[in-house]
Chain A
Amino acid sequence: MATVVNEKPEAVRMSEQGKPVTLLEAIREGIWEEMERDERVFLMGEDIGAYGGAFKVTEGMQQYFGAPRVIDTPISEIGFTGAAAGAAHMGMRPVIEMQFIDFISCAYDMITNYVATSRYRGSGPQPIVIRGPSGGYVRGGPFHSQNPEAAFFHTPGLKIVYPSTARDAKGLIKAAIRDDDPVLFFEHKWLYRRPQLREVLPAEDYVVPIGKARTHREGKDLSIVTYAAMVHKSEEAAEILEKEDGLSVEIIDLRTLLPLDEDAILESVKKTNRLLVVHEDTRTGGIAGEIAMRVNEKAFEWLDAPILRVTALDAPIPYSPPLEDYFLPQTEDIVKAARHLANY
């Protein structure tokens, strides 16, 4: 039997106490606060209860909130995603964890055919959050490193969130849980515990609105539109470009991929007249294509250079360090692409 803990653990009182938190801790605090705020919120997933999840995002929650609200499920992504849909029909607000986001494809039918269409079909809202550790740079190989956003970006009815900072992660997970539509919430595992991302968050309740991008760095010569881990790679590149080339690079962190904050993208492009899109996901059919199309439609005359992109290769994501490093976008790739654009 799981032990019952009545006192809120230190680990989720960091922001309350003005202490800095990692991106992972920020997500944990966000979920915890929403569970305290709204008894309709409950969790399902594999090994999330007694053990606290493969990455410990839900650590301590079953002990505090009880097993009926933090449910260890069979290995069954279709099963617990469907169960979340049913619970949502009954007015609950389930938050479900894919142990690794790579396994979300097991539930692809349930998410795209059932959950995403429910409101449209007249079966009502589906206030579900589907979250999970995503992304590469951790030598996880083909099935523990994926970025699945493009597969769902094409599905009306879903929202997709992919934060890059602790502050956004907490504010967005809370917004996602409060949202009346299904939200896929991707958590970059390379960012989970990065000490550089530790920050002191507001002690009081806050949300970050879904659908709004954030200017991560102001600049005037070139815009990089990106999200998740690539925000930090782009930041490294921007530093190099500023020092070595005297270039002023603007970085737009999309934060939400669906719905895309088109206004923020267009505004930045109209300011810098050059656009580089950077994503960690593979190239063909990636989100960069959609962004380029929108800029083409609405800001063609503002462009002084073609829109370029830096992405992963069109291959499964490999395991061995030299392979993974070659496969994934690196800071140097961003620097090269930005230089090409600046000199165009």
Chain B
Amino acid sequence: MASRTRSPRAAAIPHGLTREQLLEMYRLVRLTRSLEEKLENLFRQSKVVGGLFRSLGQEGESVATAFALRRRTDGTGDMLSPLIRNLGSMITVGATPAEVVRQYMAKGDSPARGKELNIHFTDYRRGFIGQISPLGDLVPVMAGVTLTFKQRGEDRVGMVYIGDGATSTGAFHEGINFAAVQRCPLVVVVENNQWAYTTPTRLQTAAKSFVDKAPGYGVAAEKVDGNDMLAVYGAARRAVDRARAGEGVTLIEVATYRRKGHAQHDNQSYVDPAEIDRWAATNDPIDRYVVALRENGWASADELRAVDERIDAELDATIAEAETSPLPEPEEALTDVYAEGPVRAPWTRHTPADPTLA
């Protein structure tokens, strides 16, 4: 075959992506990391209520997987359910930094109105369903979401994230098996970041690789370098296309590394610091993506810097505004238990306290 003539300036962009899309992915991944860095500062100032979870090192695969979905804002697009380390996926499908900051500050005008933490929030119109802390539960839930797409003949796809740890749960097994049997249009992203809190992957499974589990369920599988954003996008794109074409479930194993502790309180005493440094120095997803963008002539240093500066300024404004938001009214704790209205306040909370209301 004759050698292909290439422009000296720009290489061909893979997976049918455009240059604008490449830059948009850059914006999203940079926004994710910057937002988390700013949240960490807020955490140090005790302005974050509760724990703070970083996805350092995993932002690339979060953004790149979600970027393969049909993203809409009117409830007709694809649907994903993230994990705690998928802020990037949430941002990619339209969750805003303002929402995330308000969530972490437990504000009354946060999406979950102070009733649920961090990125555990939902918007069906933009297409994301907040996870719950018992891990694995969203696999059967997303099986049901995608079952409904199929029942209604809708051209929609679901994507659910699960960590290496939660593949050990019964919910994962039952959910992926159910989805496989029903040929649901579901992509299961197994993020192997090598740690489940303090537990290394070798103590989660005797399987050599998570893709090895897929044949047991009769589903397709692909393993991908999770810190190569374009490779991740390619794998996600193929899985999403398969699902949309009615070919059922795909399990994608995303090989990556959790460079921070489980949450801010975790000092990673159980990890060799050299291992973390090695990943940071040689295998950071954003660094690698920037190299790809620059070396292939898809983006200039100036363009990327402009994106960074804009993000920084916007986040500072967002945070300043979120800080002025009020905390929820205490009585809001009584609402949204049932459709019929608030549950009863205990008699001691009435003024004056009224035992006849016991």
Chain A residues within CB distance 8 Å of chain B:
42, 68-69, 71, 73-74, 76-92, 94, 109-110, 113-114, 117, 119-125, 156-157, 159, 179-181, 259, 294, 297-298
Judged by a CB distance under 8 angstroms, whether B358 is at the interface is yes
Judged by a CB distance under 8 angstroms, whether B200 is at the interface is no
Give Cα A63 to B208, complex, Å: 45
With a CB–CB cut-off of 8 A, which chain A residues contact B338? Answer: 119, 157, 159, 181, 259
User: Do B116 and A82 touch across chains, with their CB atoms under 8 A apart?
Assistant: no
Give Cα A14 to B147, complex, Å: 33
Q: How far is the CB of A204 from chain B (nearest CB, A)?
A: 26
User: Do B137 and A86 touch across chains, with their CB atoms under 8 A apart?
Assistant: no
Interchain residue pairs with CB less than 8 A apart (24)? A74-B177, A74-B178, A76-B140, A76-B178, A81-B140, A82-B143, A82-B144, A82-B175, A83-B141, A83-B178, A87-B148, A90-B124, A90-B149, A110-B171, A113-B132, A117-B132, A120-B115, A121-B112, A121-B121, A121-B130, A122-B112, A159-B338, A180-B339, A297-B358
Closest to B169 in A: A78
Closest to B116 in A: A121
Judged by a CB distance under 8 angstroms, whether B126 is at the interface is no
**Contact partner of B143 among A79, A88, A119, A297, CB < 8 A?**
A79
Closest to A113 in B: B134
Judged by a CB distance under 8 angstroms, whether B252 is at the interface is no
A113-B132, A156-B337 given as contacts; is B145 within 8 A of A76 (CB)?
no
**Contact partner of A124 among B116, B124, B149, CB < 8 A?**
B124
Q: How far is the CB of B144 from chain A (nearest CB, A)?
A: 3
Q: How far is the CB of B63 from chain A (nearest CB, A)?
A: 23
Judged by a CB distance under 8 angstroms, whether B181 is at the interface is yes
Contact pattern, B 165-185, Cβ under 8 Å of A = 1, otherwise 0:
000001100110110011000
Q: How far is the CB of B238 from chain A (nearest CB, A)?
A: 24
Give Cα A54 to B151, complex, Å: 25
Q: How far is the CB of B74 from chain A (nearest CB, A)?
A: 14
A86-B142, A110-B171, A298-B356 given as contacts; is B129 within 8 A of A120 (CB)?
no
A82-B171, A86-B141, A89-B141 given as contacts; is B177 within 8 A of A76 (CB)?
yes
With a CB–CB cut-off of 8 A, which chain A residues contact B141? Answer: 82-83, 85-86, 89, 114
Judged by a CB distance under 8 angstroms, whether B139 is at the interface is yes
A68-B151, A86-B141, A86-B146 given as contacts; is B174 within 8 A of A122 (CB)?
no
Give the interface centre of B141, B178, B343 by most chain A CB atoms within 10 Å. Answer: B141
User: Do B145 and A87 touch across chains, with their CB atoms under 8 A apart?
Assistant: yes
Closest to B338 in A: A181
With a CB–CB cut-off of 8 A, which chain A residues contact B122? Answer: 121-124
Tell me the count of chain B residues lying within 8 A, CB to CB, of chain A: 45
Give Cα A86 to B138, complex, Å: 8
User: Do A122 and B113 touch across chains, with their CB atoms under 8 A apart?
Assistant: yes
Give Cα A123 to B112, complex, Å: 8
Judged by a CB distance under 8 angstroms, whether B155 is at the interface is no
Judged by a CB distance under 8 angstroms, whether B120 is at the interface is yes
Give Cα A81 to B147, complex, Å: 13
A113-B137, A122-B122, A124-B122 given as contacts; is B171 within 8 A of A78 (CB)?
yes
User: Do A79 and B175 touch across chains, with their CB atoms under 8 A apart?
Assistant: yes
Judged by a CB distance under 8 angstroms, whether B277 is at the interface is no
With a CB–CB cut-off of 8 A, which chain B residues contact A113? Answer: 132-134, 137
A74-B174, A122-B122 given as contacts; is B137 within 8 A of A157 (CB)?
no
With a CB–CB cut-off of 8 A, which chain B residues contact A109? Answer: 134, 137, 171
Q: How far is the CB of A124 from chain B (nearest CB, A)?
A: 7
Chain B residues within CB distance 8 Å of chain A:
111-113, 115-116, 120-122, 124, 129-130, 132-134, 137-151, 170-171, 174-175, 177-178, 181-182, 336-339, 343, 355-356, 358
User: Do B147 and A121 touch across chains, with their CB atoms under 8 A apart?
Assistant: no
User: Do B140 and A42 touch across chains, with their CB atoms under 8 A apart?
Assistant: no
With a CB–CB cut-off of 8 A, which chain B residues contact A80? Answer: 140, 178
Q: How far is the CB of A301 from chain B (nearest CB, A)?
A: 12
User: Do B140 and A121 touch across chains, with their CB atoms under 8 A apart?
Assistant: no
Give Cα A87 to B356, complex, Å: 42
With a CB–CB cut-off of 8 A, which chain A residues contact B150? Answer: 68
Q: How far is the CB of B271 from chain A (nearest CB, A)?
A: 30
A42-B151, A122-B115, A124-B122 given as contacts; is B132 within 8 A of A114 (CB)?
yes
Give Cα A180 to B146, complex, Å: 21
Q: How far is the CB of A297 from chain B (nearest CB, A)?
A: 4
User: Do B144 and A74 touch across chains, with their CB atoms under 8 A apart?
Assistant: no
User: Do B177 and A83 touch across chains, with their CB atoms under 8 A apart?
Assistant: no
Give Cα A92 to B147, complex, Å: 11
User: Do B146 and A78 touch across chains, with their CB atoms under 8 A apart?
Assistant: no
With a CB–CB cut-off of 8 A, which chain A residues contact B112? Answer: 121-122
Closest to A156 in B: B337
Closest to A211 in B: B340
Give Cα A42 to B182, complex, Å: 15
Q: How far is the CB of B38 from chain A (nearest CB, A)?
A: 24
User: Do B177 and A82 touch across chains, with their CB atoms under 8 A apart?
Assistant: no
Closest to B153 in A: A68
Given contacts A76-B140, A78-B175, A121-B132, list 11 more A-B pairs with CB under 8 A. Answer: A68-B151, A69-B151, A73-B181, A80-B140, A82-B143, A82-B178, A92-B151, A113-B132, A114-B132, A124-B124, A159-B338
Closest to B143 in A: A83
With a CB–CB cut-off of 8 A, which chain A residues contact B182? Answer: 71
**Contact partner of B174 among A79, A120, A157, A180, CB < 8 A?**
A79
With a CB–CB cut-off of 8 A, which chain B residues contact A119? Answer: 336-339
With a CB–CB cut-off of 8 A, which chain A residues contact B149? Answer: 90
Closest to A115 in B: B141
User: Do A120 and B177 touch across chains, with their CB atoms under 8 A apart?
Assistant: no
